[in-house]
Chains A and B, each alone.
Chain A
Amino acid sequence: MTPALSSSLLVLSLAFPLLAAVVLAARRTGNSGSLSLAFAWVYAALASVTATAALTAPQALSAVGSTFRIGVSRFEFAPALTLDARGALFLLVLALCPPIVLTLLRGVRSSDAAGRDARSQDVAAWALIFGLAGVFLVDSLLLFYLFWEAALVAVYFWIGLHGRRNRFGGPVYPALLRFVLFTLAGSLPMLASIAAACAANFRDPGLSGLPAALAHLPESTRTWVFFGFLLGFAVKLPLFGFHGWLRDTYNVAPPACRALLSAAMSKMGAFGLLLVLAPAFPDELARFAPALLILAALGALYGGLLMLAQDRLIDMLAYASLSHLSILALGIFSSAATLGTVSSTTAGFSGAALLVFSHALVMAFLFALDARALPQTSGFASPDRGVLAGLRARQPRLYAFLLLAVFASASLPGLNNFPGEVLTLFAAYTVSPWFALVAGLGALVGAAALVRLLHDAWLGKPEADASPAVVSPDLSRRETMLATAVSALWLVFGLYPMLLLRPLERAFALVHAAGWLP
């Protein structure tokens, strides 16, 4: 692939969501669902091509603009995009999640009960995708931070304009504010770290130049810079202890927003850990790995245990998200901990990257199905135990796919979560069996909770008064086709993970080669 082609692919992948948002915002008519969906498919094709190119290319694709001098101290800054196999998985997430979510929830969106402008939902969705694409594609630190906050602003307006009271009558705004404050509590220290990295040699080193730029800093300053970045990523993921925003935000968020939050936005944290922290702060990560591993393992267990206590599908999914992402973080931290030792392995990194992709694919689907199950007139209802059983007979196809998705989420061998989870647990085992044990237990408990839910749904008796009067129709033919295709993807990547694993291993080996062996 020629450099010109690859750089134009990168620029297009970044610019398309912005274009989509602008076009949708400029339209006069209220309902923009079908146009937005069309955009989603075009973007899926475009971003998949870009991601495939990055996966197959021997080196990272990149597009570099001309250098400016900006800021008060006139440091050098060049807008740059870059994408290698590691980033490609994140872009694939962005490519595949919007079509899934928008196809399944189109009906949900256009029948916004309060008669609010549905258009702003689509604009917000594309603004969010733009922000995420920027985070995943840019190489410049300043732009990275800019897109990081842009995604937050998009979600702020999306939830603020279209959120609903949660099931306890809790208003939207406090939950939203908590989400914003949590995120900013992470991103403001990250900003200080970015400023320090830029000041270190009077230029914006970019994500790829970060390791070299930080080498000049004194040890203590490096540690501060490390914690600044770590905090930003830990909140976004979230890591155990930083998850206070999670459930309430999912509860008040509109369905499509909720699905993208879990599937795509939480991956910003994973991206930071994998592509920023791991290459730039190997020593610090190794030094603080014990504490971080404990947090990750605890998060996996805690998420699983909380799932047992939930009645409703959505709360269960929120905590399943916490549990899975903790396992993902566990993989990253374990690989980082093995750095320089004889048992040095990149399996944890690769496993985490695989989990990024498969977790997103499953969660987007699950959250969309959850919202799809009940009609929108009932608010953003999520089926609980009693309702699930009552709906089963009337939505057989939806339930079949729900079953499959729950199995995928529980990491059934053969489905796509399995390879990633096995790899991360394997990496954790090389550090200490206890981490693997605790996290594995968490995964097990979570799976048990999901199976119990399914038991109620398939074998339970419907409660007499729990069944809602109005029920959403079953999946249409188009939706069924999409669901089948998504399930096929799960199967493909579950059975043949080498498709992604091979380029990933190569990319990680390339990045972590320097200083990898003692």
Chain B
Amino acid sequence: MNTYILSQLPLLVGFAALLILAAVKPSRDGVVSPVTEAVSQLITLFALGLSALLVFRFLAPGEQFFGGAIGVTVIGRALAGTALTLAFLAMLASPLYLAKIRVRPTDFRMVALAQAFGLFHLPLAGDLATLFIAFELVSVPSYVLAGFNFRDGRANEAGMKYLLLGALASVLFLSGIAFLYGATGEVSFTAIQQKLGGYSLVGAEAELLLAKTALAFFVAALLFKAAAAPFHLWLPDVYQGTNLASLSLIAAPAKVALLGLLALLLWGPFAYLNETWKPLLLIAALLSAVLGNFQALSRGAQASVKRVLAFSSTVNAGFIILALFLSSAAAFLTYLAAYGLTVVGVVAAFAALGSRTADIEGPDDLQGLGRRHPWIAGALTVLLFSLAGIPLTAGFAAKFAVVADAFTPGYAPHPGFLAVLITSVVLGLVSFVFYFRMVKALWLPASAEAAAEQSAEDERGTDVNAAFVALACALLVLVFGVLMRVPGLS
């Protein structure tokens, strides 16, 4: 039995079933019958959940399929499984929110499954062709998701912006593939790695120059997609414009897969060029920590929790890049999983806390919600603490793992690495300002005028789905924080 086909089968079947469902029972103005809604929801969750389960259960590291087009690695499997699990959680949180913003739920889920199909393939790609197809399979549904709520002008802007800049990243990515093929004449990752190793051994300068050019293209494309500084300025607009259901799919599973791709490429085909990529990435990490943190303090960013989340994603991307310098993959994977889980939870909590007509916009909208929704607000507090890296949360465990790994005796860090790492840790201080501002709004007494503005009539019934996911994520974040690791990934 081909375990690769088996593992993705749920996604394909689910997609086809949703397609038929959408054709047979079209929605009217974003409203579908409860039965259709329940069926489409079940299909989506079943497909995502089963696929994630199969990835962890059946795909064995070292396996190759279709002549190496698909190659399972430890990291790849962990990334695919994590991304699918995060997508599952994101879809679990979304049903009532989708009904609130009145988008076509079945169509939305179809796009989400298409993206999940890409998420499955991206980390498992074994050659350049599969890689590019998977890259586009993640990207294109993401553009659609960003602009899914077409009634909202800002969503259109977000979708368009994402599409244009994403297309640029795709071009860079494709150029990288072209140059790499030109340098080596190979498409398979293992073959490329061997060839590049041979080149650096004999000092084949011309080929190495081509390969280094390819590397530069790849790094630029991936930093663009992962929104690491200095390629991060498009992200806040996209985050702010898009709806929360799409946001959690773009911000957690897709981000995990794209950042994970950095490890797969740099530790894989480009392993012998590490003297070239390390300085590049060190600069990116430093810039991410500095720019991400300080730009999040700007007035514009502070007016929107989504923008804050975007800059926080840049900061975390910087930290994840630093994990690429370590000798083991465990810290890297733990960081990605912890970050993804936290983001899904935060977005779910925002979705659960929104009013009947509007979403949470700025931190002021969180004012006093600690009293009205103590559980959701408590979960959000835990998750924000995790983003900030307060002890007993997964975020702390992840940061601790990276720092501790860097100090392991016998590990010789790249020059400047420790300085950048410590800078990132200390700049985490700045991020406390904006995380704590949300905590403050949730719990601490509001000023008189802000309290007067709150009206009960706009109150929305509890969004049980989003609230459940937020609580579950907070609980997991605490469990992983106590264990100080993510079971299954290290």
Contacts and interface: CB of A to CB of B under 8 A. Distances in A.
Interface of A: 70-75, 116, 142, 145-146, 149-150, 153, 156-157, 160-161, 173, 177, 180-181, 184-185, 188-189, 191-192, 195-196, 198-202, 216-217, 221, 224
B400 to A, nearest CB: 6
Contacts of B440: 160, 173
Nearest to B421: A192
Contacts of A192: 403, 421-422, 425
Contact of B407 (A157, A185, A195): A195
A480 B403 CA distance: 53
Give me the 8 closest cross-chain CB pairs, A-B, nearest first: A72-B401, A196-B407, A195-B403, A199-B407, A199-B404, A160-B444, A195-B404, A71-B484
A276 to B, nearest CB: 17
Contact of A71 (B392, B397, B426): B397
B403 A149 contact: no
Contact of B403 (A173, A177, A191): A191
A177 B400 CA distance: 24
B433 interface: yes
Interface string B133-172: 0000000000000000000000000000000000000000
A145 B390 CA distance: 10
B432 interface: yes
A162 B442 CA distance: 15
Say whether chain A's binding surface is mostly helix, strand, loop, or mixed.
helix
B401 A73 contact: yes
A346 to B, nearest CB: 31
Interface string B436-458: 10001001110000000000000
B176 to A, nearest CB: 31
A199 B409 contact: yes
A72 B405 contact: yes
Contacts of B422: 189, 192, 224
A282 B405 CA distance: 26
B429 interface: yes
A517 B188 CA distance: 65
A191 B404 contact: no
Contacts of B444: 157, 160-161, 173
B445 A161 contact: yes
B33 to A, nearest CB: 45
Contacts of A153: 390
14 contacts: A71-B397, A71-B400, A71-B485, A72-B484, A73-B328, A157-B443, A160-B440, A177-B433, A188-B428, A191-B425, A192-B425, A195-B400, A199-B403, A201-B409
B408 interface: yes
Interface in B387-404: 390-392, 397, 400-401, 403-404
A29 B421 CA distance: 49
A72 B330 contact: yes
A70 B483 CA distance: 6
Contacts of B436: 156, 177, 180
A181 B485 contact: no
Contacts of A195: 400, 403-404, 407
Nearest to A147: B391
B331 interface: yes
A488 to B, nearest CB: 41
A70 B485 contact: yes
A198 B404 contact: yes
Nearest to B490: A72
B85 interface: no
Interface in B453-490: 483-485, 490
A188 B429 contact: yes
Contacts of A160: 440, 443-444
Interface in B402-434: 403-409, 418, 421-422, 425-426, 428-429, 432-433
Contact of B390 (A149, A173, A201): A149
B41 interface: no
B432 A71 contact: no
A146 B391 CA distance: 6
Contacts of B421: 192
Contacts of A224: 418, 422
B37 to A, nearest CB: 41
B334 interface: yes
Contacts of A201: 409
A116 B425 contact: no
Contact of A73 (B392, B408, B426): B408
Contact of A189 (B331, B390, B426, B443): B426
B404 A196 contact: yes
A73 B432 contact: no
Contacts of B409: 199-201, 216-217
Contacts of B334: 72
A190 to B, nearest CB: 10
A72 B331 contact: yes
A201 B334 CA distance: 21
A177 B438 CA distance: 12
A146 B478 CA distance: 13
Contacts of B406: 199
Contacts of B401: 71-73
Contacts of B490: 72, 74
A180 B404 contact: no
B429 A181 contact: yes
Nearest to B418: A224
A73 B403 contact: no
Contacts of A185: 426, 429
B68 to A, nearest CB: 31
Contacts of B443: 157, 160-161
A30 to B, nearest CB: 15
A184 B444 CA distance: 20
A145 B484 contact: no
Nearest to A185: B429
B404 A71 contact: yes
A346 B392 CA distance: 37
B119 to A, nearest CB: 23
Given A153-B390, A195-B400, 20 more contacts: A70-B485, A71-B401, A72-B331, A72-B401, A72-B484, A72-B485, A142-B391, A149-B390, A149-B391, A177-B436, A184-B428, A188-B428, A188-B429, A191-B400, A192-B421, A192-B422, A196-B403, A199-B408, A200-B407, A200-B409
Contacts of A199: 403-409
Contacts of B426: 185, 188-189
A160 B401 CA distance: 32
Q: Which of B404, B418, B421 has the most CB of A within 10 A?
A: B404
A199 to B, nearest CB: 4
A116 B371 CA distance: 13
Given A181-B433, A188-B428, A192-B425, A221 B407 contact: yes
A194 to B, nearest CB: 8
Contacts of A157: 443-444
A189 B425 contact: yes
A181 B429 CA distance: 7
Contacts of B404: 71-73, 75, 195-196, 198-199
A28 to B, nearest CB: 15
B333 to A, nearest CB: 9
Given A149-B391, A200-B409, A70 B484 contact: yes
A68 to B, nearest CB: 9
Given A145-B391, A153-B390, A173-B444, A73 B330 contact: yes
A116 B445 contact: yes
A189 B408 CA distance: 17
Contact of A184 (B330, B403, B429): B429
A221 B490 CA distance: 27
A122 B328 CA distance: 46
Contacts of B445: 116, 161
